[in-house]
Structure 1
Amino acid sequence: MPATAPTPAPSPAPARTSAGTAADRVYQYVKQGVLDRCYEGGTLLTEGELAVAVGVSRTPVREALLRLETEGLLKLYPKKGALVLPVSAQEITDVLETRLLVEEFTVRRAVPAPPGLLERLAGLVEEQRRHAAAGDLAAMTAADRAFHAEIVRSAGNQILQRLYDQLRDRQLRMGVAVLHAHPERVERTLAEHTGILDALRAGDAEAAASAVRGHIGRVEALVRGSGR
């Protein structure tokens, strides 16, 4: 059992007391802290600290932590707290393999791309650019994920879309970690997304699929500790 780690700074943004139940507010507070890396893997969170931070009793804290444990973000230790689970090598492999299978298939299906899809993707690239300029890597990662999700959604396969949506939290957590560790990756990500969009605009399914493969392959190299 790891020793208690101090709560890292900065802390997650305060929960809004008007949003949902007390358990919902704790759930959103802790989950955002994990995804934004305010709570790193290996951090031990206590019910008392979270109750004070969100302004609730311990009962909804316990309920929220149980929910987060079922999602694979935490491991509960009775009478001690909840450990933020690090991203494992197997999880990285599983997420990237699934992404490649789903995204390469759906980007092919997106050709010829309707004007509405191209407009939404262009808007998301610009949104990423704005967040990058502001230094908000968490927001950039969320827009990054939305860019790929738009392409998946355009294929019209509801089963694939639900499968892809299940990867959302893991993608966000990995994406923020990569950008923090490799700041040069910000511009590369923007360039690679622009390349995918350009291939879709040109109606070239093979070029779009190749751009997706290259993009995910470079992400894999980074999270495994090699490449740029």
Structure 2
Amino acid sequence: MPSGRELAYGHLKDTVLSDPSMQGQFVNEQALADEIGVSRTPIREALLLLAAEELVQLVPKRGAYIAPVGGREIRELFEIRAMIECYAARRAIELDAVPVEQMRAELAAQRELSGDDQARAFIDRDHGFHAALVCAVGNDMLSKTYDALRARQIRAGIVALFSSGGRRKAVLVEHEAILAALAARDAEAAAAAITEHLSATQQVLLAG
């Protein structure tokens, strides 16, 4: 049974931080406590953990602030994602371990999620698509490093969907290109497709 702090941390990280309407807002601790069914103490403990991860900012006498995704954060996030994912593509091909069927299943599930109310589910599948490739390498430290980016990746992905009306369809096309290159065991084409995909999302976010 998860503790109150664990419940609060999970809800904040997976739901509140990824809500576009919460960008630039302060967290209402009491409302959140009532929603989860815990006291305010676990909420504050969870916020301290998130502040240590630099996912929220604690402002004296005002509380926890969820800053909009900034340009530097965007550039750094996509730079490290490109490094990890391009390496994973090359290494998975070398190992003959590309999870084609798993990635194809994530992509198929993405295609079924078209409504604005399904944006979070769409980006969850997006993360699953990319994480499957990273996990296939079999390097636990690499997978943990990539998983640590999950909250930022999901947050940025959802913001990108709402920033550009055509982004959802473009993501599907870009994922198809990545999968085709991986299935063909063309490491350079796969790395190029991943780089193009990440660059496109980054540009949408930087354009605001």
Shared fold by TM > 0.5? yes
Q: Secondary structure at the match of 1:56?
A: coil
More deviation, 71-80/85-94: 71-80
Q: How far is 1:55 from its partner?
A: 2.8
Q: How far is 1:65 from its partner?
A: 1.5
Aligned in 2, Cα 1:160/1:203: closer, same or farther, shift over 3 Å?
same
Q: Does 1:120 align with 2:97?
A: no
**Alignment-mate amino acid for residue 220 of structure 1:** Q
Q: Secondary structure at the match of 2:68?
A: coil
Q: Secondary structure at the match of 2:64?
A: strand
1:159-184 C-alpha deviation (Å, 9 max, x unpaired): 32222111111111000000011120
**Alignment-mate amino acid for residue 185 of structure 1:** R
Q: Does 1:192 align with 2:174?
A: yes
Would the aligned equivalents of 1:112 and 1:200 in 2 still touch at CA under 8 Å?
Answer: no
More deviation, 27-36/101-110: 27-36
Aligned twin of 1:183: 165
Aligned twin of 2:12: 30
4+ runs deviating over 3 angstroms: 112-116
Q: How far is 1:211 from its partner?
A: 0.9
Structure 2: distance between partners of 1:197 and 1:73: 31
Would the aligned equivalents of 1:44 and 1:83 in 2 still touch at CA under 8 Å?
Answer: yes
Q: Secondary structure at the match of 2:22?
A: coil
Aligned in 2, Cα 1:134/1:93: closer, same or farther, shift over 3 Å?
closer
Structure 2: distance between partners of 1:134 and 1:53: 23
Aligned twin of 1:163: 145
Q: Does 1:46 align with 2:46?
A: no
- Length-normalised TM-score, structure 2: 0.90
Q: How far is 1:52 from its partner?
A: 2.7
- Length-normalised TM-score, structure 1: 0.82
Q: Report the RMSD for the aligned CA atoms in angstroms.
A: 2.1
Q: Does 1:103 align with 2:64?
A: no
Q: How far is 1:92 from its partner?
A: 0.8
Would the aligned equivalents of 2:89 and 2:191 in 1 still touch at CA under 8 Å?
Answer: yes
Would the aligned equivalents of 1:46 and 1:80 in 2 still touch at CA under 8 Å?
Answer: no
Would the aligned equivalents of 1:113 and 1:200 in 2 still touch at CA under 8 Å?
Answer: no
Would the aligned equivalents of 1:117 and 1:150 in 2 still touch at CA under 8 Å?
Answer: yes
Structure 2: distance between partners of 1:35 and 1:134: 14
Larger Rg: 1
Aligned in 2, Cα 1:76/1:60: closer, same or farther, shift over 3 Å?
same
Gapped regions of structure 2 (runs ≥ 5): none
Q: Secondary structure at the match of 1:132?
A: coil
Aligned in 2, Cα 1:180/1:162: closer, same or farther, shift over 3 Å?
same
Q: How far is 1:29 from its partner?
A: 2.6
Of Structure 1 and Structure 2, the greater helix share is in 2
Would the aligned equivalents of 2:163 and 2:204 in 1 still touch at CA under 8 Å?
Answer: no
Would the aligned equivalents of 1:110 and 1:151 in 2 still touch at CA under 8 Å?
Answer: yes
Aligned twin of 1:93: 75
Structure 2: distance between partners of 1:205 and 1:77: 46
**Alignment-mate amino acid for residue 117 of structure 1:** P
Give percent identity, aligned residues only.
36
Q: How far is 1:135 from its partner?
A: 4.8
Which structure is higher in RCO with an 8 Å CA cutoff and minimum separation 6?
2
Structure 2: distance between partners of 1:61 and 1:55: 10
Q: Secondary structure at the match of 1:76?
A: strand
